[in-house]
Amino acid sequence: MTDTRPTVRLRPKAEARAIRHGFPWVYADELVTDRRTRALAPGTLAVLEDAERRPLGLVTVNPNSRIIARVLDRDAEACIDAEWLAARLATALALRDRLYDAPFYRLVHAEADGLPGVVIDRFGDAAVIQPNAAWAEAHLDALVAALADVTGVGTVVKNGTGRARGLEGLAEETVLLRGGLDGPVPVPMNGATYMADLMGGQKTGLFYDQRPNHAFVQRLAQGARVLDVFSHVGGFALAALAGGARHALAVDSSAPALALAEAGAAAMGAADRFASRQGDAFDTLAALADEAENFDLVICDPPAFAPSKQALDTGLRAYERVARLAAGLVAPGGYLCLCSCSHAADLARFRAACARGIGKAGRRGQIIHTGFAGPDHPVLPHLAESSYLKALVFRLAP
Considering the domain architecture, whether residues 167 and 222 belong to the same structural domain is answered as no
Whether 126 is in a domain gets the answer yes
Considering the domain architecture, whether residues 254 and 174 belong to the same structural domain is answered as no
* CATH, residue 64: 2.30.130.10
Question: How far is the C-alpha of 315 from the C-alpha of 350, rounded, in Å?
Answer: 9
Listed residue (205, 206, 19) closest to 111, CA to CA = 19
Considering the domain architecture, whether residues 65 and 16 belong to the same structural domain is answered as yes
* CATH, residue 321: 3.40.50.150
* CATH, residue 108: 3.30.750.80
Per residue in 353-392, pLDDT (tens digit) is 999 999 999 999 999 999 999 999 999 999 988 899 999 9
Q: Say which residues have a Cβ less than 8 Å from residue 141's Cβ, sequence separation at least 6.
A: none
Q: Which DSSP category does 184 fall into?
A: P
Residue 2: the pLDDT is 46
Residue 164: the pLDDT is 87
Look at residues 73, 90, 106 and tell me which one is the last residue of a structural domain: 73
Task: Please provide residue 274's backbone torsions phi and psi, each rounded to the nearest 5 degrees.
Answer: -120, 140
- Could you give the number of structural domains in the chain? 3
Whether 184 is in a domain gets the answer no
Per residue in 95-132, pLDDT (tens digit) is 999 999 999 999 999 999 999 999 999 999 999 999 99
Considering the domain architecture, whether residues 232 and 379 belong to the same structural domain is answered as yes
Q: Which residues are annotated as catalytic?
A: 341
pLDDT, average across residues 41-62 = 96
Look at residues 158, 178, 198 and tell me which one is the last residue of a structural domain: 178
Range 8-45 burial, b when 16+ CB lie within 10 A, else e: bbbeeebebeebeeebbbbeeebbebeeebeebebbbb
Q: How many CA atoms lie within 13 A of 123 on its CB side?
A: 25
Whether 46 is in a domain gets the answer yes
Considering the domain architecture, whether residues 370 and 223 belong to the same structural domain is answered as yes
- Please tell me the least confidently modeled range out of 3-7, 54-58, 239-243, 260-264: 3-7
Per residue in 59-80, pLDDT (tens digit) is 999 999 999 999 999 999 999 9
Whether 61 is in a domain gets the answer yes
Per residue in 83-95, pLDDT (tens digit) is 999 999 999 999 9
Look at residues 127, 144, 178 and tell me which one is the last residue of a structural domain: 178
Considering the domain architecture, whether residues 173 and 194 belong to the same structural domain is answered as no
Q: Is 141 helix (H, G, I), strand (E, B) or coil?
A: helix
Q: Say which residues have a Cβ less than 8 Å from residue 294's Cβ, sequence separation at least 6.
A: 225, 329, 330, 331, 334
User: Is pLDDT of 3 > 70?
Assistant: no
Considering the domain architecture, whether residues 323 and 226 belong to the same structural domain is answered as yes
Whole-number average pLDDT of the chain? 96
Whether 310 is in a domain gets the answer yes
Considering the domain architecture, whether residues 47 and 164 belong to the same structural domain is answered as no
Question: How far is the C-alpha of 15 from the C-alpha of 30, rounded, in Å?
Answer: 8
Residue 196: the pLDDT is 97
Range of the domain at 291: 190-396
Considering the domain architecture, whether residues 114 and 215 belong to the same structural domain is answered as no
Residue 15: the pLDDT is 82
pLDDT, average across residues 269-289 = 98
Residue 167: the pLDDT is 85
Question: How far is the C-alpha of 181 from the C-alpha of 212, rounded, in Å?
Answer: 28
**pTM of the complete model:** 0.95
